[in-house]
Amino acid sequence: MKGFIRSLQVALWFMFLTFPIMVIKVDIVEKTVQWRWMNLVYVGIGSFVLSFVWRFLMEKKNKGIKAREESRDEKLSFIQKILTEPRYNRPLFLGLLLFVLVFPWMFSTYQTNIMISALLYVVLGLGLNIVVGLAGLLDLGYVAFYAVGAYAYALLNYHFHLGFWTVLPIGGLLAAIFGILLGIPVLRLRGDYLAIVTLGFGEIIRLVLENWDEFSFGPSGISNIPRPGFFGLHLTVEQATIYIYYLVVIMSLITIFVVNRLQNSRLGRAWLALREDEIACEAMGIDRMKTKLAAFALGATWAGFAGVIFAAKTTFINPASFTFMESAIILSIVVLGGMGSIPGVILAAFLMILLPEYLRAFSQYRMLLFGASMVLVMVFRPQGLIPNVRRKYLYGQKQGVR
């Protein structure tokens, strides 16, 4: 009964707030006023239903917290079985691999382009996952390294006629250097202060690219960037799209392998220790400076690779492609998927990129629906879609997970 009254109060409050917009319509040509009372009824009913459902779900969530905590180990053990044990993951991974390989031949060029974008964000998300998910360093300027890779290919090709395969490692190296340059001044910062500095760094890179016309051609951007070559053969647009698709698939697989190995390495464990407690990490003999710089450099490297591929895919870049919104999307992928979780980041990247495209049928409401979906996920599953399975060691027992 209390929830019913609260929902009714919410509905009345929303009706009061939206009354001037939803009810009153002034026709300045005819000099008349229309009173659309049914709109107010719709607002009231919609607000009441949404509020009531929301309260019901929140109460159900709070009541189930204890039960979920008791069964948490069992659930995570089941997840670990699916992701780690060969009898579970081999059929799953084999089916996904076959689907990925035949995708360009089953769907149109438009669908292939969308999948290329999704796979690029998989690479970007896994790169940022090193910095944010593993090392716990909140980076809001990650798109700057993405821009470094893209402009490295565009400018080196324009001035020195260097090809894609030559610039690909150069773009990653330049992005790593910029990652170190960012990491050095922020070694003593953490939390909100680190986020503000990295945000400023990303904006500085974008503004330099936008205003330094002699260097980056300013807002006009750089066009006619060549696509990757294939033994000197001339490829049509459709063939080039398929070729780039398989390149991005290979890059994604390499990224997954490398990030997984890094996560289980000595350096990866140092990142995890740094994320949990920086002071205790340093007290245990871990070099905080080297560990942070390694996280920034390695995370930026993958953004540089993705930037080179992005420039080759679009054949045109300008500073408008590297705004703060891109950093926010990549960070959302990491948080939505699960901090430090490789399968979670992959799933979130596909959801974040594919859902807005396939919700175009809803026109102007698609981003509203998309945002509401993200809010619901983060409220009812704050640990992410696929939370990271963390190891724990019990004295005198076998290794378990939590």
Delimit the domains of the chain by residue range: 2-58, 79-401
Q: Is 100 helix (H, G, I), strand (E, B) or coil?
A: helix
Per-residue pLDDT, 161: 87
Mean pLDDT, residues 216-240 taken together: 84
d(C-alpha 208, C-alpha 187), whole Å: 24
The confidence band for 83, taking pLDDT boundaries of 50, 70 and 90, is low
Q: Comparing 335 with 393, which gets the higher pLDDT?
A: 335
Per-residue pLDDT, 340: 82
The confidence band for 209, taking pLDDT boundaries of 50, 70 and 90, is very high
Q: Mean pLDDT in the chain?
A: 83
CA angle, residues 268, 272, 388, in degrees to nearest 5: 95
Per-residue pLDDT, 391: 61
Q: Does residue 389 register a pLDDT over 70?
A: no
- Give 103: exposed, middle or buried? Use CB within 10 Å, 0-12, 13-18, 19+: middle
Q: Which of 62-66, 237-241, 271-275, 319-323 has the lowest mean pLDDT?
A: 62-66
Mean pLDDT, residues 1-27 taken together: 80
Mean pLDDT, residues 16-26 taken together: 81
CB atoms within 10 A of CB 68: 10
The structure's pTM equals 0.81
Per-residue pLDDT, 70: 47
Q: Which of 55-59, 201-205, 239-243 has the lowest mean pLDDT?
A: 55-59
Q: Which of 178-182, 307-311, 366-370, 372-376 has the lowest mean pLDDT?
A: 366-370
Per-residue pLDDT, 229: 78
Residue indicated by tokens 């698609």: 366
d(C-alpha 335, C-alpha 338), whole Å: 5
Per-residue pLDDT, 402: 44
The predicted-structure confidence for 129-142, as pLDDT tens digits, reads as follows 999 988 888 888 89
Mean pLDDT, residues 372-395 taken together: 71
Backbone angles phi, psi at 286, to 5 degrees: -85, 130
Q: How many residues does the chain have?
A: 402
Q: Give Cα 241 distance to the centre of its chain.
A: 23
Strand segments (E) across 296-371: none
The predicted-structure confidence for 151-184, as pLDDT tens digits, reads as follows 999 999 999 988 899 999 999 999 999 999 988 8
Nearest to 309 by CA among 123, 102, 174: 123
CA angle, residues 294, 299, 302, in degrees to nearest 5: 130
Q: Is 339 helix (H, G, I), strand (E, B) or coil?
A: coil
Q: Does residue 77 register a pLDDT over 80?
A: no
Q: Does residue 91 register a pLDDT over 80?
A: no
Backbone angles phi, psi at 285, to 5 degrees: 95, 10
Q: Which of 78-82, 183-187, 233-237, 276-280 has the lowest mean pLDDT?
A: 78-82
d(C-alpha 46, C-alpha 242), whole Å: 46
The confidence band for 395, taking pLDDT boundaries of 50, 70 and 90, is low
CB atoms within 10 A of CB 211: 12
Nearest to 335 by CA among 82, 125, 118: 125
Q: What is the DSSP letter of 317?
A: B
Mean pLDDT, residues 198-215 taken together: 90
Burial 275-289 (b: 16+ CB within 10 A, else e): beebeebeeeebeee
Q: Does residue 269 register a pLDDT over 60?
A: yes
- Contacts of residue 352, defined as CB under 8 A and 6 or more positions apart, other chains included, come to 121, 329, 332, 333, 336
Q: Does residue 2 register a pLDDT over 90?
A: no
DSSP string of 252-266? HHHHHHHHHHHHTSH
Q: Does residue 101 register a pLDDT over 50?
A: yes
Residue indicated by tokens 């607002």: 43
Per-residue pLDDT, 253: 93
